[in-house]
């Protein structure tokens, strides 16, 4: 239950607002709006009462697709705890790499102990984990809070700058990147499983040793030193290790061919753009990658008349799509053209599209209200560092140039306060495919589900995730009020159709997508284990009825439960991922 010190929230929130106002003055002009009224009245930080619903009024709507012949029904569950170590921060290295405090709301983390804005493949792989089976993957979601109006106490905020600075240093150094092997293996016979897993672990060890040698010999030798002294010997070791796996499989099944093509590795810089081939050595994005950043338009619009809202929303979504497409073109054309290529081939055409789109919004508003002036100044975009875009799970196109505030000593942020609720139960389960077998995810694959900014991005990527225990066949985009004996629950299903090449993409979505309603992946995509995260909370029934619990969100979302989302980065060793795949494909129930 929330603590009660007898102080009304107005004093606490006034303190938060004062801090933000001071930041605004120091930064030279962040807009701050204030509301004055009776201290006994509800503050603007509460969720809208209309956003709550009795779960019994929600019709059953959550049916699994029918299993086709050959469907895989196995599950692999990982025990990573409930964030007992109180790992919180307002970062999101999946959707907003390199932007500290960019989420503007607090995330709950389990798994990887180093997850922060500057996390990259190297820092993630070197970190510890809360997962009992050694899985170093990062799993994180917005916290849920109870807000009764009292001065609720939270665990004190832990400084994140040390971890961030270490991750930033890792991101600045080159690493050895090798093709992922586990995702290229055929179905492994039980008789070969132990030997294959031993050799997958050996491949990871070989990369670790090569990266350590890369650091210890920095500056030594001539221009071919790294190739001759590190990459060449590493390739030879990998050829032998991969061949042992092929022989082991070939004893009782068809021997896989062509795996030796996965032996050569390369030296890569950490700061990628997101379109890299799947690798297990650190070539994926995770540092401050260059992306196109554009001024935010939604925040500059006047009050939109009801008659214009649909057209304005369509065009705001189109602006997001245009940025995503431009970032994808930035990835696919990397290294092409001369010094003005990006400006002439990407930024210039993007500006022209934005001018037309913004003008359509102004005309729509102007039909029944004053036509807004000067919006065309928001059309030009530029190439920035690591900003993401407005479609990246709510990141506003990297437009926020000034430092964003971190959590205060009570782990509260502007417009996100109240007592943090640790989940009573966290379920992390990888599931099969209704259409057939699954293949391994590549190491360092990034994935997300939901959309943190539906007010700007629209509902295309949002997913109803709220329910109550015992009512999992009913999902709602509102906060559920559960019957006595039932608990509040969030169910986050992740996309599970991988393009077979990339561990990330410019919008962090197109490289891994959801299957169709029948559970099938589209052409060019492969089914990988589907991650499902379930979160159960002990929210007292009277708190539910009084509508006093809420999820952290971007301030613009005002705790809309439709903004709920979840993020994941796969940092499993190849042998653990191989265990996941084989458990699922053999229709077993495994717990690690």
**By three-state DSSP, how is residue 271 classified?**
coil
Residue in the structure block whose two tokens are 């508003």: 365
Asked whether the predicted pLDDT for residue 80 surpasses 90, the reply is: yes
- 164-181 pLDDT, tens digit each: 777 777 776 788 999 999
> Which positions ≥6 away from 276 have C-beta within 8 Å?
283, 284, 285, 502, 503, 504
What pLDDT score was predicted for residue 456? 87
Q: How many CB atoms lie within 10 A of CB 442?
A: 27
Helix pair angle (574-585, 190-216), 10° resolution: 160
pLDDT of residue 32 exceeding 70, the answer is: no
Give the model's pLDDT for residue 402.
Answer: 60
Q: What is the pLDDT of residue 222?
A: 79
Say whether pTM exceeds 0.95.
Answer: no
Residue 282 scores a pLDDT above 50: no
Cβ neighbours around 309 below 10 Å, total: 12
Query: Mean pLDDT across the stretch 468-486?
Result: 98
Candidate from 84-88, 180-184, 330-334 with smallest mean pLDDT: 330-334
pLDDT the model gives residue 494: 99
pLDDT value for 157: 82
The average confidence (pLDDT) of the chain is: 85
Provide the terminal-to-terminal Cα distance of the chain, rounded to the nearest Å. 32
Give, in order, the Cα–Cα distances in Å from 518 to each of 155, 215, 251, 436, 476: 44, 49, 36, 11, 21
| pLDDT over 90 at 28, yes or no | no
Whether 24 shows a pLDDT value over 80: the answer reads no
Weakest mean pLDDT among 356-360, 484-488, 559-563:
356-360
Q: Tell me how far the alpha carbon of residue 223 is from its chain's centroid.
A: 39
Amino acid 164: pLDDT: 78
User: Can you tell me the mean pLDDT for 367-377?
Assistant: 94
pLDDT, one tens digit per residue, over 526-536 is 999 999 999 99
Give percent above pLDDT 90 in the chain.
Answer: 67
Does residue 41 carry a pLDDT above 50?
no
CA dihedral 28, 16, 166, 203 (to 10 degrees): -120
Q: For residue 542, how many other CB atoms are within 10 A of its CB? A: 10
Nearest C-alpha neighbor of 551 from the set 569, 565, 540? 565
Provide the pLDDT for residue 396. Answer: 40
pLDDT greater at residue 405 or residue 493: 493
327 vs 428: which has the higher pLDDT: 428
Partnered with residue 54 across adjacent β-strands are 481
The CB density around residue 321, as the number of other CB atoms within 10 Å, is 19
Residue 60 pLDDT exceeds 70: yes
pLDDT above 70 coverage of the chain, percent? 84
Min mean pLDDT across 280-289, 371-380, 425-434 is at 280-289
What are the tens digits of pLDDT across the range 102-123? 999 999 999 999 999 999 999 9
Handedness of CA 307, 311, 314, 319 (dihedral sign): negative
Reported confidence tier of residue 149, pLDDT bands at 50, 70, 90: confident
List Cα–Cα distances, 36 to 23, 40, 43, 415, in angstroms.
Answer: 20, 11, 10, 16
Confidence class for position 223, pLDDT limits 50, 70, 90: confident
258 pLDDT higher than 70: yes
Q: For 440-509, give the secondary structure using H, E and C.
A: CCCCCCEEEEECCCHHHHCCCCCCCCEEECCCCCCCECCEEECCCCCCEEEEEECCCEECCCECCCCCCC
Assigned token pair, 241:
């290790």
pLDDT at 220: 84
What pLDDT, on the 0 to 100 scale, is given for residue 388?
A: 39
Could you tell me the two tokens for 552?
A: 């952290």
**Each residue's pLDDT tens digit, 178-201:** 999 999 999 999 999 999 999 999
Q: What's the per-residue H, E or C state across 396-415?
A: CCCCCCCCCCCCCCCCCECC
Confidence band (pLDDT; 50, 70, 90) for 91? Answer: very high
Q: What value does the mean pLDDT take over residues 74-95?
A: 97
Residue 548 near residue 147 (C-beta atoms within 8 A): yes
* Per-residue pLDDT band at 274 (split at 50, 70, 90): very low
Q: Can you give the pLDDT at residue 270?
A: 55
In the chain, what are the helix, strand and coil shares in percent, each to the nearest 5? 30, 15, 50
């Amino acid at each position: 239950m929330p603590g009660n010190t007898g102080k009304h929230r107005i004093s606490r929130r006034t303190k938060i607002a004062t801090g933000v106002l001071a930041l605004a003055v120091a930064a030279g002009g962040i807009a701050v709006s204030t509301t004055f009224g009776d201290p006994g009245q509800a503050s603007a930080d509460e969720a809208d009462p209309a956003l709550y619903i009795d779960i019994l009024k929600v019709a059953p709507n959550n049916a699994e697709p029918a299993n086709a012949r050959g469907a895989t029904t196995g599950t692999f569950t990982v025990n990573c705890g409930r964030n007992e170590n109180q790992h919180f921060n307002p970062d999101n290295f999946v959707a907003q790499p390199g932007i500290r405090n960019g989420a503007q709301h607090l995330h709950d983390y389990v798994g990887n102990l180093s997850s922060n804005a500057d996390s990259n493949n190297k820092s993630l792989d070197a970190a510890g984990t809360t997962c009992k089976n050694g899985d170093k993957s990062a799993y994180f979601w917005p916290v849920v809070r109870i807000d009764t109006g009292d001065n609720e106490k939270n665990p004190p905020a832990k400084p994140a700058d040390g971890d961030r600075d270490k991750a930033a240093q890792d991101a600045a150094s080159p690493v050895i990147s090798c093709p992922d092997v586990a995702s290229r293996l055929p179905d492994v016979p039980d008789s070969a499983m132990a030997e294959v897993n031993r050799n997958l672990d050996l491949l990871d060890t070989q990369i670790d040793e090569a990266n350590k040698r890369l650091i210890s010999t920095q500056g030594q030798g001539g221009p071919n030193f790294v190739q001759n002294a590190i990459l060449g010997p590493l390739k030879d070791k990998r050829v032998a290790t991969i061949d042992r796996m092929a022989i082991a499989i070939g004893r009782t099944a068809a021997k896989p061919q062509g795996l030796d093509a996965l032996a050569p590795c390369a030296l890569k810089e950490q700061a990628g753009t997101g379109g890299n081939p799947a690798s297990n050595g650190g070539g994926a994005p995770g540092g401050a990658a260059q992306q196109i950043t554009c001024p935010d338009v939604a925040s500059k619009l006047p009050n939109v008349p009801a008659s214009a809202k649909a057209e304005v929303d369509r065009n705001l979504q189109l602006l997001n799509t245009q940025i995503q497409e431009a970032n994808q073109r930035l990835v696919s054309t990397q290294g092409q053209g001369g010094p003005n290529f990006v400006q002439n081939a990407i930024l210039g055409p993007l500006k022209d599209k934005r001018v037309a789109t913004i003008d359509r919004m102004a005309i729509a508003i102007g039909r029944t209200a004053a036509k807004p002036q000067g919006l065309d100044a928001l059309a030009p975009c530029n190439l920035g560092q690591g900003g993401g875009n407005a479609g990246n799970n709510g990141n506003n196109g990297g437009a926020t140039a000034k430092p964003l505030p971190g959590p205060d000593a009570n782990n509260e942020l502007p417009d996100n306060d109240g007592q943090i609720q640790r989940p009573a139960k966290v379920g992390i389960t990888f599931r099969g495919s209704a259409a057939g077998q699954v293949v391994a995810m590549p190491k360092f694959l990034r994935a997300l589900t939901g959309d943190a900014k539906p007010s700007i991005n629209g509902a295309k990527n949002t997913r109803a995730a709220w329910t109550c225990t015992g009512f999992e066949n009913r999902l709602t985009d509102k906060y559920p009020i559960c019957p006595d004996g039932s608990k509040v629950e969030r169910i986050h299903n992740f996309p599970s159709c991988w393009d077979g090449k990339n561990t990330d993409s410019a919008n962090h979505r197109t490289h891994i997508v959801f299957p169709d309603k029948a559970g099938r992946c589209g052409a060019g995509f492969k089914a990988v284990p589907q991650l499902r995260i379930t979160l159960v909370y002990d929210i007292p029934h009277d708190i539910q009825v009084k509508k006093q619990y809420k999820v952290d969100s971007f301030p613009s979302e005002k705790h809309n439960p439709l903004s709920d989302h979840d993020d994941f980065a796969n940092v499993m060793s190849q042998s653990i991922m191989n265990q996941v795949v084989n458990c699922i494909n053999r229709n077993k129930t495994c717990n690690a």
